[in-house]
Amino acid sequence: MKKIIIAFIALSTVLQSCQEDTLTQLNTDPNSYYTTVPSTLVTYAQKQLSDYVNTPSVNINNFRLTMQYWQETTYSDESQYNFTQRNVSDQVFLALYVRTLKNLEQAKKLIMVYQPTASEQGTWPTTMKNQLAIIDMMQVYTYQISVDTFGNVPYTQALDIDAFPLPAYDDAKAIYGSLITRLTADLANVDTTGSSFATGDKYYNGDVTKWKKFGNSLLLKLGIALSDSDPALAQSTSQAAITGGVFASSADDCNLAYLAASPNYSQIYANVVASNRNDYVAGKTIVDKMNTTMDVRRDVYFRQNLHYDLGTVTAIAEGTGIATITFTLPTDAPAVPFKVGDDVFNNRTAKKIGTITAFTATTVTVSGYVAGTVKVEDTLGFSFFYKGGTIGVKSSFAYNTNPGNFAYTATTPGILLNYTEVAFYLAEAQARWNIGGDTAANLYAKAITASFLQWGKTAVNATAYITANPYDAANWKKSIGTEAWVAMYNQPLTSWNFYRRLDYPVLLPATGAVSEANNKVPVRLLYPVTEQSTNPTNYQSAGTAIGGNFLYTKLFWDKN
């Protein structure tokens, strides 16, 4: 993994100037951007793609806010769907087209002109086909994100700016058809008996068999997306994917393994920790839902930073590893009484001081106590509870539940596509067309179980949850849609797709939502402001073609 650091640092200097370019400036400096080897470009593109999909940065990816998983503390603009102030859409175009698609396209070109060594002559034709197919799969993945974000987007002319300095916007439905055709061809070209990238592939380390599963799983994702707009193509595409072999366990997940040091740590960590800011708390919508169901994933989704009030310390009798603490009761009685076994916390230090072994109305005896950790007049708390910030309202970091420890961990992997997501697609395919390979109820249970295991919980935990929240065949969209929303907590782009397709859960617009949202949760992003000035004719045509360049204009596949 040391090589990844070198590649990223080297390319950050080679390609840095790309980050300031608009889509119409991709090829303005042909001298140095791409004078490198394909594997290095693949590494760079993979990191850029994962960074975009996983970052919570308000400058580029606000879907944790839109899907009401998190809420802002210092500002409220993005929670209220003001994405123009920071030119968010411009940054999305840069991430997808310049930093990802263009680099992958150039990698293809370098592969096509590569002259194999004598020892490579016999295997190069197969290796080349596999490399090209893998790169194309990543491009298909990226283009789907672009279409699902905006609707009609540059496609056939997007990556050849020399020939098309003002690229046209292709019809979104036609792009989907092309992506399915491309991906089907990629899967046919993949030869699992051959090799691919010896270096540079940071998703699967060149494992062609895993890439084939990825391709089929992506094909299933494309098919499911078309369920309401083109049921016949959706079903045939999904069936082909399932027959071809989709993800079967978390061992198949497509992740980027981030490293502990800058600049290669998790983008969540970069924005939550390395930024030295406390900009996010858990959102009220997801917290209330999980509190209602007593979901055991709460302690990994969120931190346990809020405690019930115990009282204000008036006296301390310390012993060895134990203390009896006297306190005055709070003005408002806590929602639950304290009891033996509850942990006690010092609000001044935000640290645990011990565990209750005995108590009276105004005293607690705690074990595990370290002398000097409590002072008279300290306020104490006990146990914990979860409380989310009101969506759209600036919410106190100290008085709301914080994101879980995964957000504070530098090496939290970046998720591109995982088994949990695919398991929900299989449940949906069964509910729609009876092609999922098991009963819809069983596949629903498998999807939820996959989420529990993904977050470190057990199958026993999942079974108890499923028993309390069973599959409802009469309203399967609500069952699958709601549980997918809960499960996709750290995959907000994917969650947004489930929400728009299945129309569950029912999300109310944020408090103070901008008028441009038309009192709705956004179902697309506006086209980039730079496109309005640099590519105005195609910009205008695209907006007209989709029914208006608005946050509330539904995509072609979002029918309900």
List pLDDT tens digits, range 82-141. 999 999 999 999 999 999 999 999 999 999 999 999 999 999 999 999 999 999 999 999
Bridge partner list, 315: 326
Provide the pairing of β-strand 254-256 with 280-282: unpaired
What is the residue whose two structure tokens read 């050849």?
160
pLDDT exceeds cutoff 90 at 9: no
pLDDT exceeds cutoff 80 at 22: no
Task: Domain ranges for the chain, please list them.
Answer: 38-66+75-257+524-546, 258-302+389-412, 307-385
Q: What is the pLDDT of residue 25?
A: 36
What average pLDDT does this structure show over 456-467?
98
The answer to whether residues 273 and 379 touch, using CB atoms and an 8 Å cutoff, is no
Q: What is the pLDDT of residue 560?
A: 82
What average pLDDT does this structure show over 255-267?
96
List pLDDT tens digits, range 35-77. 578 999 999 999 999 999 999 999 999 999 999 999 999 999 9
Task: Tell me the CATH number for domain 38-66+75-257+524-546.
Answer: 1.25.40.390
Domains 38-66+75-257+524-546 and 307-385 share a fold: no
DSSP one-letter string for 529-558? HHHHHHSHHHHHHHHHHTT-S-TTPPPTT-
CA distance 79 to 399: 18
Q: Coil, helix or strand for 125?
A: helix
Residues 6+ apart with CB under 8 A from 169: 152, 153, 154, 155, 538, 539, 541, 542, 545
- 307-385: CATH architecture: Beta Barrel (2.40)
List pLDDT tens digits, range 294-320. 999 999 999 999 999 999 999 999 999
**Residue at 479: amino acid letter:** S
Assign 3-class secondary structure to 259-284: CCCCCCCCHHHHHHCCCCCCCEEEEH
What average pLDDT does this structure show over 193-202?
97
Q: What is the pLDDT of residue 37?
A: 86
Bridge partner list, 256: 414
List pLDDT tens digits, range 444-455. 999 999 999 999
Cβ of 300: how many Cβ atoms within 10 Å? 17
What average pLDDT does this structure show over 270-295?
97
Q: Coil, helix or strand for 304?
A: coil
pLDDT exceeds cutoff 90 at 402: yes
Q: What is the mean pLDDT of the chain?
A: 93
Confidence of residue 429 (pLDDT cuts 50, 70, 90): very high
CA distance 35 to 32: 6
